[in-house]
Chain A
Amino acid sequence: GDSVTQMEGPVTLSEEAFLTINCTYTATGYPSLFWYVQYPGEGLQLLLKATKADDKGSNKGFEATYRKETTSFHLEKGSVQVSDSAVYFCALRQDGQNFVFGPGTRLSVLP
């Protein structure tokens, strides 16, 4: 079946550092790809998404590009802030099927 793999972390960075969280997927067909963020004690919120190859999703300074050739959707941010500390989930969904989530990556940003 379809699956999502992401670095589990925790990832610890200093404020203003560059962030990359890797995400790769296995799927038959052409899924939509998503990044969700979960702040402490809260539910998940959509951060960004891409629905076809070469699309770039972006939001709040975060970006991810749908790379079909490498089956990847890595999350990047040029300069992280303490407020970005959270758990980040990569996910995919094929039409007619349920979401498949990765295990989540915990990010801690230190001042």
Chain B
Amino acid sequence: SQTIHQWPATLVQPVGSPLSLECTVEGTSNPNLYWYRQAAGRGLQLLFYSVGIGQISSEVPQNLSASRPQDRQFILSSKKLLLSDSGFYLCAWRDKEKAGNTIYFGEGSWLTVV
């Protein structure tokens, strides 16, 4: 069966510090991968998605970046965090071969920028 894990689960970072959130998927190959952000009490905002290794599409301009160094690994980064980067970050994957298929989410990472 397929699983998705992201870490760390919780982190508190000072303004201006770097960020690295990592996500890995097991039990599937060549998935579509996604990073979403959920600000407190708000809906989901798609940040980045990737259809393959090294292929990243950005949905919103900001000081975050994403990379996909391996087929089932997706990394969210920042060189200098802002207060507004605080939120709940969700990694997700989808099997692109299946029509009408489901997106599966990781457990989420709580980021507090202080």
Contact = CB atoms under 8 A, between A and B. Distances in A.
**Is chain B a partner of chain A in the same complex?**
yes
A104 B43 contact: yes
Contacts of B103: 46, 93, 99
Q: Which of B34, B102, B108, B110 has the most CB of A within 10 A?
A: B102
Nearest to A6: B43
Interface in A95-109: 95, 98-99, 101-104
A42 B108 CA distance: 6
Contacts of A46: 102-104
User: From DSSP, what is the main secondary structure of chain B's interface residues?
Assistant: strand
A43 B108 contact: yes
A34 B102 CA distance: 8
Interface size, B (range): 10 to 19
B107 A98 contact: no
Interface size, A (range): 20 to 34
B60 interface: no
Contact of A103 (B43, B46, B90, B92): B43
Interface of A: 32, 34, 36, 41-46, 49, 51, 89, 93, 95, 98-99, 101-104
Interface of B: 34, 42-44, 46, 49, 90, 92, 99-100, 102-108, 110
